Amino acid sequence: MCGIVGIFGTPSASTEVYQALLMLQHRGQDSAGILSSEAQPGKFHVHKNLGQVSTVFNKKDLDRLHGMSAIGHTRYSTIGESKESDLQPMALSLPVGIAMVHNGNVSNYHELRNKLISNQRFFMSDNDLEMIMHLMAESYSRSIQSHVFDRLCDSVRTVLSEVEGGYSVIGLLGSDGMFAYRDPHGIRPLIMGHKKEADGKISYCLTSETCALKFLGYEVDRDIRAGEVIWIDQSGKVQTRLLTEKTPLPCMFEWIYFSGADSTLENKNVYEVRLHLGELLSAHIPKNIKIDVVAPVPDTSRPAAIGLAEKLKVPFREVLIKNRYVQRSFITAGQNQRQIAVGLKFSVIDELVKGKNVLLVDDSIVRGTTSKKIIELLKQHGANEVYFASTCPPVIHPCYYGIDFPSSKELIAFERAPEQVSEFLGADGVFYSTIGDLSTALKGQSFCKACLNGEYAYPVHSGVKHES
């Protein structure tokens, strides 16, 4: 999972991209990068490095990123180590000048990469984006269309027809303009906004979440549709075209975990969805157990814990205090790193848990590493009984579309009943929401539920690669 942003039509494009990336930092802390396009002398400027946004860039770096348009990326790697060769944004100069960022994962990566290699294409990285970029550039150069937008549509249509997986893309076509598109099922988010500059001209922002748009003062226009391409030319003219029409399947984890609570995706506010999930979760808590305190696992589950506590008429309390200088453990690479991060991440308020029966609420239970450690912490600090409730149904299948659980064997709920999960975690009981609850909270919105029921949007390929 990554955060992406594109700003078009303002001399402060690179600075605004930097500010937007700070707002999207929760989507990945491994690396960050910004690329700008300068019409004269026809040049891309780029700065990217490993680390968080605030450490990658300083004022001098931003001052060198000239141009009226820029794209940016903040990343977490879903496989292996973070490598400098895989950092985004990426660019090609031949057969056409093109620069891109993306969020997601290509599930048929190896098949497409081998096809390109057989056509004498060579690669500088193991990142999905480079492969998408080669496909686009080749198709664009072959198009017989006379207008730029029509040629762009031809190239994006090639990507949408050949590239399987969940992905959102923002790019620059030389100095001609900015484009963006989502995969045919819209699995990964992408939102557009605009604002009027001091000179009366309109600038545009495309990004992963509305929180970045609102912070920068852009009016939120709408979500880019699944299979839709957007083109903004140098004059500021916006053109759109729907290239495929398939069932939209946005990732439900965006509402449950990844997106900021102040963001709105597909016209559904993240905070409100989480609050409703907590209310619905109350129906799955047995009435014969005594709960003294309902407590969130900070921070994403706080709205759900509030909703659950209100429904149960039990006090809501913050019993865990989070160290905000530690990475989100779910997106910290490697099991050992996750265990260390969990130990550093939380401290317990003894007075709120000693002798109490605590119902912990979290957004999900994936591997169980964090959950197990937190339950141990609470019992070490005097909790009498600790129950665990998840706003996400049991995750039992791998994700091939950009989330870091590539194997069923890593998933705690795989081939385990809730009672077995509870025993493994050391909890006194474990309770889950259902897929029906998710559908209710999302007001009937269709969504990708492959990790819950194994129904994938695309065929599962052998040797699937996981890279964001």
Digit-coded pLDDT (tens) for 44-79: 999 999 999 999 999 999 999 999 999 999 987 655
**Mean pLDDT on 216-227:** 97
The pLDDT of residue 404 is above 90: no
| Beta strands at 357-362 and 293-296: parallel, antiparallel or unpaired | parallel
- Asked whether 375 and 425 are in contact (CB, 8 A), the reply is yes
pLDDT given at position 331 = 46
Residue 451 a catalytic site member: no
The two three-digit tokens of residue 21, written as one number: 């990336």
pLDDT given at position 345 = 81
Q: What is the mean pLDDT of the chain?
A: 91
- Give the H/E segment covering residue 69: strand 69-75
Helix (H, G, I), strand (E, B) or coil at 217: coil
Which residue is catalytic, options 2, 205, 211, 448? Answer: 2
Residues 6 or more apart whose CB falls under 8 angstroms from that of 410 comprise: 366, 367
Q: Which range is most confident: 110-119, 135-144, 385-394, 458-467?
A: 385-394
Q: Which domains does the chain carry?
A: 3-249 (3.60.20.10), 254-447 (3.40.50.2020)
The pLDDT of residue 39 is above 90: no
- Give the H/E segment covering residue 181: strand 177-182
Greater pLDDT, 290 or 404: 290
The pLDDT of residue 467 is above 50: no
User: Running DSSP on this structure, what letter comes out for residue 448?
Assistant: B
Q: Say if pTM beats, i.e. exceeds, 0.85.
A: yes
The dihedral through the CA atoms of 316, 321, 323, 326 has a sign that is negative
Tell me the pLDDT band of 7, cut-offs 50, 70 and 90: very high
Q: CA 370 → CA 78, 320, 366, distances in Å?
A: 18, 13, 9
Residues 6 or more apart whose CB falls under 8 angstroms from that of 283 comprise: none
The pLDDT of residue 434 is above 70: yes
Greater pLDDT, 125 or 195: 195
- Asked whether 375 and 346 are in contact (CB, 8 A), the reply is no
Burial annotation 333-354 (CB, 10 A radius, 16+ → b, else e): beeeebeebbeebbebeeebbe
- Asked whether 87 and 53 are in contact (CB, 8 A), the reply is no
Residue with tokens 């030389």: 174
Give percent of the chain above pLDDT 70.
93
Residue 335: CA count within 13 A, CB half-sphere: 7
